Amino acid sequence: QKEVEQDPGPLSVPEGAIVSLNCTYSNSAFQYCMWYRQYSRKGPELLMYTYSSGNKEDGRFTAQVDKSSKYISLFIRDSQPSDSATYLCAMTFTGGGNKLTFGTGTQLKVEL
């Protein structure tokens, strides 16, 4: 079992939809979780990070952590075609130093 699991998709939604992207993790020593966005043939870029249970909002994006279920989510409101990309969850765990463990990424397409 991978330390961080993510459904690879692809996920296709109409413009304006609310998108839910999810990851599960197996290591209880959770420190931080991050969401990265990666456009085709580009490097990932950091969208959001959080370290506590609950929700964190930034514009149209909300990151949610449920430590009891070992479940993290990223919600995108009012999705736009420009949101079409691969979304990667990444986590750090106590004892892992600064090493980020990534999920496989979910490919999202927002259609007009």
Partner 1 sequence: GAGVSQSPSNKVTEKGKDVELRCDPISGHTALYWYRQSLGQGLEFLIYFQGNSAPDKSGLPSDRFSAERTGGSVSTLTIQRTQQEDSAVYLCASSPTSGRAGTGELFFGEGSRLTVL
Q: Using CB under 8 A as the criterion, which residues of the chain lie in contact with partner 1 when the complex forms?
A: 6, 8, 31-32, 34, 41-46, 49, 51, 88, 90, 92, 97-105
Choose between 56 and 70: whose C-beta lies nearer to partner 1.
56
For the CB of residue 100, give the shortest distance to partner 1 in the complex, in Å.
5
Choose between 4 and 110: whose C-beta lies nearer to partner 1.
4
In whole angstroms, give the CA distance from residue 3 to residue 72.
13
For the CB of residue 78, give the shortest distance to partner 1 in the complex, in Å.
26
What 98-103 contacts at long range (C-beta under 8 Å, 24+ apart), as own/partner pairs, is 100/34, 101/3, 101/4, 102/4, 102/36, 103/2, 103/4, 103/5, 103/6, 103/23
